[in-house]
Amino acid sequence: MPTTPRRPLALLLIAAVAAATPATGAAQGPLPADLSRRIDALEPKIVAWRRDIHQHPELGNRETRTAKIVADHLRALGIATTTNVAHTGVVGILRGGRPGPVILLRADMDALPVTERNDLPFASKVRTTYNGVETGVMHACGHDTHVAIMMGVAEALASMRGDLPGTIKFMFQPAEEGPPQGERGGAELMIEEGVLENPKVDVAFALHINSQLETGHISYSPGGTYASADDFRILVKGTQTHGGYPWDGTDPVVAAAHIITGLQTIVSRNMRLTENPAVVTVGKITGGVRSNIIPEEVELVGTLRALSPDDRAKVHQRVREIATGIGTSMGAKVEVQIPLTTAYPVTYNDPALTARMVPLLASVVGADRVHLVKPVTGAEDFGFVAERVPSFYFRLGGRKASVDPADAAPHHTPGFHVEDTDLEAGVKAFVALVLGYRQ
């Protein structure tokens, strides 16, 4: 993927939005008034779907109940529906009455192994065992809202299929947060099983709810918007000996400590921090059994993040060079494994597509509610889709206006909460992108 200078592109996008819509937002856009009213009328359904799914969350590759709700809804709308894609995924194909592109719309369905602490009438009480640990299950990242919004999009577009240009492919995806240990899943597996083919997808759109962004607002980033994510394992092998006689062996603990320190120079000394950030985090250190024994080996496990393919490759290279170089200098042998289990590419917003789509979002919610923001170092497996077709990924606000952003619980936490009384803004955004897109 090309690297795009951020400042000129940002100015281009802002100018495009300003030219397309007035500053206060009641803009005329691609949504006919009657269609907009039909979408508004869907709000009670969307809220009911969201709350039901929230109350009955399911982990990755286990979304059987959610998938059935989705599939039953799509079939009731007359949309050709395939189930059991990548375990529990659902794919719907809506063929419009007019010629046009094939547009993929993605919604992820899985919840997280988090115990909910919100005092809500529809709070999750579900418990399960995840990787051998008993835990609660919660939609702590808002995927329940994604499913409800996309079900609303399907109903809105199906109601106008005779006038719909092209074909819409609905991708209801399992295991975005990653499959259970020992399994495969998510967007990568759906792609392997043909979600981008038959018919071949021309462009893809997706959104993510955000607990810090106010409801009715949308944010986006051109280029790299979510980071790549690769976990890694570094095994430092020494020679075991008595802790009182360290000269009789090779200490992998000391070598591992120097490797950890050396890895931190990758971000500070090898990356262009004014352009794209990167992250090198060691999250786990394992080695040794008691105080007076120098162990045979030490294991380091962590995560690597970058916002462009070139930076991703550079970080990987430097991890290998630093770890093996320091280990060799201290007499230790080092094995580096990248990735260990997770390898998500950068979620990349095609710059030209982004410049064309942002005014459409502004026409729905108002230019003053569409925000150009910096990319984040969280990861999204929609990146597998964006690697293969031009894509645009945006964020929809879920924070009540009266709540201070600093007080909004982050994603993946027990107190995570988003409002569901303005989700039709997400429906309108998707419909606007579909109707406004031109190849």
pLDDT tens readout for residues 108-142: 999 999 999 999 999 999 999 998 899 999 999 99
Helix, strand, coil share (%) of the chain residues, nearest 5: 35, 30, 35
Query: For 53-103, how does the pLDDT look when each residue is reduced to its tens digit (9 = 90+)?
Result: 999 999 999 999 999 999 999 999 999 999 999 999 999 999 999 999 999
Q: Which residues contact 66 (CB under 8 A, 6 or more apart)?
A: 53, 56, 58, 88, 109, 147
8 A C-beta contact, residue 220 and residue 395: yes
CB burial of 175-196 (b: ≥16 within 10 Å; e: otherwise) equals bbbbbeeeeebbbbbbbebebb
In the chain, CATH 3.40.630.10 covers 6-226+346-436
Strand, helix or coil at 100?
strand
**Amino acid residing at 337:** Q
Q: How many residues does the chain have?
A: 439
In the chain, CATH 3.30.70.360 covers 228-343
User: CA 310 to CA 383: how far, in whole Å?
Assistant: 15
- In which band, very low, low, confident or very high, does the pLDDT at 27 lie, cut at 50, 70 and 90? very low
* Alpha-carbon distances of 138 from 56, 115, 175, 194, 282, rounded to whole Å: 8, 6, 14, 30, 27
Query: For 198-228, how does the pLDDT look when each residue is reduced to its tens digit (9 = 90+)?
Result: 999 999 999 999 999 999 999 999 999 999 9
Query: For 306-362, how does the pLDDT look when each residue is reduced to its tens digit (9 = 90+)?
Result: 999 999 999 999 999 999 999 999 999 999 999 998 899 999 999 999 999 999 999
User: CA 260 to CA 89: how far, in whole Å?
Assistant: 39
Closest by Cα among 348, 430, 439, 384 to 94: 430
228-343 is classed in which CATH architecture?
A: 2-Layer Sandwich (3.30)
At 341 the pLDDT is: 87
6-226+346-436 is classed in which CATH architecture?
A: 3-Layer(aba) Sandwich (3.40)
Question: DSSP letters of 154-210?
Answer: HHHHHTTGGG-EEEEEEEEES-TT-PPTT---HHHHHHHTTTTTTTTP-EEEEEEEE
